[in-house]
Amino acid sequence: MRTFVAVVDTGRFQDAAADLSISQQAVSKRIAGLEKDLAVRLFTRTAHGARLTIDGQAFLPHARELLRVAERAVASVLPGSRPLRVDVIASRSAASGLMRGFHRAHPEIELDVVMLFDIEAAVAAIRSGAIDASFRAVAVPGRPLPEEIDSVWVQDEVLQLLTGPDHVLAGARSVTLAQLTGHRIWMPGIVPGTEWAAYYDDLVAEFGLTIEATGPNFGSDALLDTIADTPALATFMGKQTRLVWPAGHGLRRIPVTDPTPVYPHSLLWRRDNPHPGLAVLRDHLAAASAGPGDAGIWAPGWATRR
Amino acid sequence: MRTFVAVVDTGRFQDAAADLSISQQAVSKRIAGLEKDLAVRLFTRTAHGARLTIDGQAFLPHARELLRVAERAVASVLPGSRPLRVDVIASRSAASGLMRGFHRAHPEIELDVVMLFDIEAAVAAIRSGAIDASFRAVAVPGRPLPEEIDSVWVQDEVLQLLTGPDHVLAGARSVTLAQLTGHRIWMPGIVPGTEWAAYYDDLVAEFGLTIEATGPNFGSDALLDTIADTPALATFMGKQTRLVWPAGHGLRRIPVTDPTPVYPHSLLWRRDNPHPGLAVLRDHLAAASAGPGDAGIWAPGWATRR
DNA sequence: AAATCGCACAACCACGGGTTGTGTACTAAG
DNA sequence: CTTAGTACACAACCCGTGGTTGTGCGATTT
């Protein structure tokens, strides 16, 4: 690809060869090999050099794009000035949505999103510099963060009930947590030991819900399919989570009240992290911070808010 | 990259090896080589298989993207169901804008844009099936199109004068073509023998303008820089052409009247071309067709409109 | 007609990247 | 604790990809 683009840019095989510090014959072989693999002619050879064929013209932007992507791929693991690397607690969480919003607002800031196991791993990664920031629920002062790590509350993610059209509660305008007692709540993909597990453990203990965290996570599609088809099953989902599901599933979002369960997201970062994107992210989040207010909400006792 | 993604998807070196029909040792070597090139560890090796490191997680989406791009690159020259391939007359022409609009309206339709030398080349490429459609100015019945090629008028591109802030006409609300007599109009990159050359030849012959088509085309940036800094120089530019230029250049767009020069764009395609995207493109353009109306406009005598 | 330019082909060679065979670390079972 | 099994790494080997130099051919220029 690099050779192909070099020939396009220089217009001559031998100039491209000089650019690449190889022989003209090597360029000829590379192009011939590429043309053989693709089974099309990319250049018309003239006495003045090489001109793109129509196929070559169509191929060129894809070749350039490939080189760009390859460069970004290398940059993503390059120590030094690599992209801002942020850990989110789950791909469907509000943290993911916030990062998408940040990317829309600052597309010039290269971004990589990763998912670590729990806050222990996140704190270790932040300390080592392997990641630049992390969205997590911060524990109460009982287990304080290391001194060099700062954190700031960002958003309370309001949880809603998601049911299929045939669920008993499908028609309800809202439900209370107490009303959910006895109903089966299904949360596949909750890994024991993570904050989500701790969160729902607390929720179960306090309100006597029946939450089934069993079963592997086959992805959003499988979850939504099952919820839509099973009248006895419901699940929790963030209010802002935007899902695409096939039309006609008839899924219902039902607000939960008295109290409304929320998941408090904070941003964690190392105070002396010099990454320029980090300050921009903090500023962006400060402006985007929002929550339902303190009235009538519930969060686990171990989690700090604000 | 393929091996890296295969290991991620299967979770085990040997399963990836089976998928790729190579030995487990080959996978081990490939991953080791990739890790050596990138100078980072991508996997933590456990007794159960391989798990991604943080660097690996950051790298993964780029790797997947690279494979996607590579696939599209191959598809762009694959005979059979390749992307819709459309020839435009120039990258700054209204045709390019129309194709961008089409892509926004139908992002699901894969698209490749090429630029052929002139309408002869375009007609030949359409007949051979090398391209699916072409934006061109269609000549009068004197030189009719081949029988198997259809064409339909799409849009009249209105030309405006573009000047720097210190140009004599910079303050004018509009100018007539007659007023431009004696002024230097600079159109770099106009290649002799193309329709653009014929167009401006006619314009010069009819209104006695001074158009300098000399000099190589160093791109929009160089053109705009020169226009902005040279009081005696102006150029023509499509009314809808959206350019990004550095702030403070103070470039002025000035409508031209009595008459308004327009470039008539038609779409050409082979009647029996079965590409599904072609019908969508024609429908889209039929809805998007627009022009200034017939009153007070000028187009070369050889060009048909409607 | 001769010189020049630009790419392709031929012959050759080195090394990258595959193979098989074996070793080591960790896990699970008895 | 031993033993068997699993999973990846290392070693030795070898073929073929992909580089080199040398040369040929067609087109353009003088």
B44 located within any domain: yes
If 0-12 CB within 10 Å is exposed, 13-18 middle and 19+ buried, where does residue A94 land? buried
Which one-letter DSSP state was computed for residue A146?
P
Q: How far is the CA of B43 from the C1' of C27 (A)?
A: 19
Whether chain A has a CB inside 8 Å of the CB on B264: the answer is: no
For the ranges A129-138, A224-233, B112-121, which has the lowest average pLDDT? Answer: A224-233
Q: How many domains does chain B have?
A: 3
pLDDT digits (tens, 9 = 90+) for A144-183: 789 999 999 898 899 999 998 888 998 889 899 888 888 8
pLDDT of A131: 95
Residues B191 and B213 placed together within one structural domain of the fold: yes
Inter-chain residue contact A57 with B125, CB threshold 8 Å = no
Contact assessment for residue B270 and residue B127, using Cβ atoms and an 8 Å cutoff: yes
pLDDT of B181: 87
Torsion from C-alpha of B220, B221, B222, B228, nearest 10 degrees: 100
Residues B246 and B277 placed together within one structural domain of the fold: no
For the ranges A16-20, A75-79, A189-193, B124-128, which has the lowest average pLDDT? Answer: A189-193
pLDDT at B305 over 80: no
Inter-chain residue contact A58 with B83, CB threshold 8 Å = yes
The minimum CA-CA distance between B24 and chain A, rounded to whole Å, is: 25
In B, minimum Cα distance to A41 occurs at B77
Residues A186 and A232 placed together within one structural domain of the fold: yes
Whether chain B has a CB inside 8 Å of the CB on A74: the answer is: yes
A248: domain CATH number?
A: 3.40.190.290
Q: Per-residue pLDDT averaged across B213-235, rounded?
A: 80
Write down the number of H helices and E strands in chain B. 9, 13
Residue A199: pLDDT band (50, 70, 90) is confident
Inter-chain residue contact B38 with A74, CB threshold 8 Å = yes
A22 located within any domain: yes
Contact assessment for residue A59 and residue B75, using Cβ atoms and an 8 Å cutoff: no
pLDDT at A141 over 60: no
Residue B44: pLDDT band (50, 70, 90) is very high
B12 located within any domain: yes
Whether chain B has a CB inside 8 Å of the CB on A168: the answer is: no
pLDDT at B225 over 90: no
Q: Per-residue pLDDT averaged across B26-51, rounded?
A: 90
Residues A144 and A270 placed together within one structural domain of the fold: yes
Task: For residue A265, give the 3-state DSSP assignment.
Answer: strand
Q: Per-residue pLDDT averaged across A121-139, rounded?
A: 92
Q: Which one has a higher pLDDT value, B12 or A288?
A: B12
pLDDT of B6: 93
pLDDT of A138: 83
pLDDT at A63 over 60: yes
Q: Per-residue pLDDT averaged across A117-131, rounded?
A: 91
B42: domain CATH number?
A: 1.10.10.10
Whether chain A has a CB inside 8 Å of the CB on B167: the answer is: no
A306 located within any domain: no
**Proximity of residue A36 CB to strand C below 7 A:** no
Residues A194 and A132 placed together within one structural domain of the fold: no
B269: domain CATH number?
A: 3.40.190.10
State chain B's mean pLDDT as an integer. Answer: 88
pLDDT of B134: 96
Residues B135 and B283 placed together within one structural domain of the fold: yes
Residues 122-141 of A, Cβ under 7 A from nucleic strand D: none
Domain boundary (B75, B99, B133) is at B75
State chain A's mean pLDDT as an integer. Answer: 88
Q: Per-residue pLDDT averaged across B190-216, rounded?
A: 81
pLDDT at B107 over 70: yes
B303 located within any domain: no
% of chain A at pLDDT higher than 90: 49
Whether chain A has a CB inside 8 Å of the CB on B125: the answer is: yes
Residues of B in contact with A131 (CB under 8 A): 54
Contact assessment for residue A75 and residue A89, using Cβ atoms and an 8 Å cutoff: no
B305 located within any domain: no
% of chain B at pLDDT higher than 90: 48
Residue A16: pLDDT band (50, 70, 90) is very high
Residues of B in contact with A77 (CB under 8 A): 38, 40, 55, 58-59
Residue from the list A58, A77, A79 with its beta carbon closest to the beta carbon of B76 = A58
Q: Per-residue pLDDT averaged across B119-142, rounded?
A: 87
Instruction: Dig out the tokens for A209 from the structure.
Output: 């819900």
Inter-chain residue contact B73 with A55, CB threshold 8 Å = no
pLDDT of B80: 82
| A6-45 residues touching B, CB cutoff 8 A | 38-40
Closest nucleotide relative to residue A32's CA, C1' based = C8
The minimum CA-CA distance between A177 and chain B, rounded to whole Å, is: 37
% of chain A at pLDDT higher than 70: 93
A40 located within any domain: yes
pLDDT of A71: 94
CA closest to C1' of D7 belongs to: B47
Q: Per-residue pLDDT averaged across A180-199, rounded?
A: 83
Q: Which nucleotides of C are covered by protein (CB under 7 A)?
A: 5-10, 17-21, 25-27
Residue A79: pLDDT band (50, 70, 90) is confident
Residues 226-265 of A, Cβ under 7 A from nucleic strand D: none
Domain boundary (A13, A48, A75) is at A75
Which of B40, B42, B62, B123 to probe by mutation at the A interface, max A CB count within 10 Å? B62
Determine phi and psi for B236, rounding to 5 degrees.
Answer: -95, 145
- The most distant pair of C-alpha atoms in chain B lies apart, rounded to whole Å, by 84
% of chain B at pLDDT higher than 70: 93
pLDDT of A247: 59
Residue from the list B40, B62, B85 with its beta carbon closest to the beta carbon of A58 = B85
For the ranges A30-39, A106-115, A269-278, B290-299, which has the lowest average pLDDT? Answer: B290-299
pLDDT of A102: 95
**Proximity of residue B32 CB to strand D below 7 A:** yes
Determine phi and psi for B187, rounding to 5 degrees.
Answer: -130, 75
pLDDT of B198: 83
pLDDT of A187: 86
Residue A300: pLDDT band (50, 70, 90) is confident
Contact assessment for residue B19 and residue B2, using Cβ atoms and an 8 Å cutoff: no
- Whole-angstrom Cα distance, residue B27 to residue B16? 7
Residues 37-96 of A, Cβ under 7 A from nucleic strand C: 45, 47-50
Q: Per-residue pLDDT averaged across B18-27, rounded?
A: 91
Q: Which one has a higher pLDDT value, A293 or A172?
A: A172
The kind and range of the H/E element at A68 are helix A54-75
Q: Which one has a higher pLDDT value, B49 or B140?
A: B49
| Domain extent at residue A163 | 156-261
Domain boundary (B44, B75, B106) is at B75
pLDDT of A291: 64
Q: How far is the CA of B45 from the C1' of C27 (A)?
A: 14
Residues of B in contact with A112 (CB under 8 A): 57-58, 61
Residue B277: pLDDT band (50, 70, 90) is very high
Q: Which of B198, A61, B27 is nearest to B19 (CA)?
A: B27
Residues B171 and B27 placed together within one structural domain of the fold: no
The minimum CA-CA distance between B82 and chain A, rounded to whole Å, is: 10
pLDDT at B143 over 80: no
CA distances from B275 to A119, A144, B83, B127 (A): 53, 63, 9, 14
pLDDT at B306 over 70: no
Q: Per-residue pLDDT averaged across B59-87, rounded?
A: 94
For the ranges A287-301, B230-244, B248-262, which has the lowest average pLDDT? Answer: A287-301
Residues B162 and B253 placed together within one structural domain of the fold: yes
In B, minimum Cα distance to A72 occurs at B62
Q: Per-residue pLDDT averaged across A103-124, rounded?
A: 92
pLDDT of A248: 58
pLDDT at B111 over 90: yes
Residue B59: pLDDT band (50, 70, 90) is very high
Residue B141: pLDDT band (50, 70, 90) is low
Residues A150 and A272 placed together within one structural domain of the fold: yes
B286 located within any domain: yes
Q: Which of B4, B33, B32 is nearest to B19 (CA)?
A: B4
CB-side exposure of B241: number of CA atoms within 13 Å? Answer: 20
pLDDT digits (tens, 9 = 90+) for A208-267: 888 887 666 677 777 888 888 888 889 998 888 877 666 557 788 899 988 899 998 999
Residues B279 and B255 placed together within one structural domain of the fold: no
- The phi-psi region of residue B44 (left if phi > 0; otherwise alpha if psi is between -120 and 50; otherwise beta) is beta
Residues A182 and A136 placed together within one structural domain of the fold: no
Side chain identity at B249, as an amino acid letter? H
In A, minimum Cα distance to B34 occurs at A74
Q: Per-residue pLDDT averaged across A16-30, rounded?
A: 91
Contact assessment for residue B258 and residue B178, using Cβ atoms and an 8 Å cutoff: yes
Q: Per-residue pLDDT averaged across A12-24, rounded?
A: 91
Residues A168 and A247 placed together within one structural domain of the fold: yes
> How far is C-alpha B5 from the chain's CA centre?
33
**Proximity of residue B13 CB to strand D below 7 A:** yes
Total residue length of chain A: 306
